[in-house]
């Protein structure tokens, strides 16, 4: 073997030794990677960007913090939490997904992402990634077309059922109203019955007194009820005959009205006063009249009605003036 061959073999051996010693050291270093699902997207589409960090157990590196946008016009829609998985052997892999999009066409270069140690003494950077955002192609051959009309869904039975029910109810109500108008129009006009003449007050009072006598209240021991009925008949007769509110007045007020207005004679007023005062004693002072007083009160009520009833003059005016004419002629 010549000298050159020996030197060449020595250099190869040294190189192999260097590689054998340095390869484990290189394999122990952490590795940071960044990759895209695709480097070309349409305007507004989304693409996944993957950040990966491989390291040995016990080594700590911080993932880069991304903002709302990258390179100005690339927006970050979401960022997942870093997920750690064992990559086999003594190597751990941490992976994070970023969802990107862009609304401006053009070619962009995503800058490297830097992983740093907690004390910021060491750092790892990924490679820059190109991303091209393409516009949506427009078919100019078709020209300007109208906006597509909304799709017409078929109308179902349950959708029109409420309107049908409302229509039927309104039609039924209209039918009832028309029927009512026809019946009202066809109904014969009833001729009003002639009004019967009112019973004169004294006729009514005498009939009520007769009914009171037939009931025989004081004979049954119902003295207070008897005098209440008796004075009610007399007071009602006074209201109907003389238009005096006797039902609402006291005995003194009734006597005063008769006296001041000279409605009847004084002896009639005196008899009326005795009757009303005796009834007041029975109703309010628990007075117990004797039989003669009962009969006297009953007779006084009859006499008051008969002496104050209106007098009906049946003579003709000519007959009334005839004696006067004769008197004047005789004189």
Domain segments of the chain as ranges: 26-134, 201-308
pTM (whole model) above 0.85: no
Kind and range of the H or E run holding 319: helix 317-330
CATH class label, 26-134: mainly beta
Q: Pick 212 or 191 by higher pLDDT.
A: 212
| Nearest partner of 275 among 311, 310, 240, 226, judged by Cα | 226
Alpha carbon distance 50, 39 (integer Å): 13
Percent of the chain whose pLDDT exceeds 90: 25
Alpha carbon distance 215, 89 (integer Å): 127
Tell me, what's the pLDDT at 324?
Answer: 43
pLDDT in tens, 200-254: 899 999 999 999 899 888 889 888 999 999 999 999 999 888 888 888 889 898 8
Widest distance between CA atoms in the chain = 209
Is residue 115 over pLDDT 50? yes
């Amino acid at each position: 073997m010549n000298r050159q061959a020996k030197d060449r073999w020595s250099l190869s051996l040294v190189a192999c030794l260097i590689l054998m010693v340095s390869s484990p050291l290189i394999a122990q270093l952490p590795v940071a990677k960044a990759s895209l699902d695709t480097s070309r997207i349409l305007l507004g589409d989304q693409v996944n960007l993957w950040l990966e960090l491989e390291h040995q157990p016990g080594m700590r590196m911080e993932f880069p913090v991304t903002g709302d946008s990258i390179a100005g016009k690339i927006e970050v829609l979401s960022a997942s939490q870093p997920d750690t998985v064992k990559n086999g052997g003594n190597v751990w892999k941490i992976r994070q997904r970023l969802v990107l999009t862009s609304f401006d066409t053009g070619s962009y270069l995503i800058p490297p992402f830097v992983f740093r140690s907690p004390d910021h003494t060491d750092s790892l950077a990924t490679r820059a990634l190109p991303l091209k955002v393409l516009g949506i192609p427009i078919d100019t051959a078709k020209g300007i077309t109208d906006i597509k009309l909304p799709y017409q869904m078929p109308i179902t039975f349950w959708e029109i059922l409420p309107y049908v029910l409302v229509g039927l109810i309104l039609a039924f109500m209209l039918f009832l109203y028309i029927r009512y108008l026809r019946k009202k129009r066809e109904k014969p006009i009833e001729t009003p019955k002639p009004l019967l003449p009112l019973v004169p007050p004294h006729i009514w009072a005498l009939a009520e007194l007769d009914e009171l006598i037939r009931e025989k209240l004081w004979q049954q021991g119902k003295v207070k009820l008897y005098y209440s009925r008796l004075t009610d008949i007399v007071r009602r007769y006074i209201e109907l005959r003389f238009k005096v509110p006797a039902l609402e007045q006291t005995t003194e007020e009734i006597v005063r009205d008769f006296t001041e207005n000279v409605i009847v004679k004084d002896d009639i007023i005196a008899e009326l006063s005795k009757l009303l005062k005796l009834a007041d004693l029975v109703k309010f002072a628990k007075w117990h009249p004797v039989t003669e007083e009962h009969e006297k009160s009953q007779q006084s009520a009859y006499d008051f009605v008969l002496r104050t009833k209106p007098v009906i003059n049946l003579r003709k005016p000519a007959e009334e003036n005839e004696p006067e004419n004769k008197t004047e002629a005789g004189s």
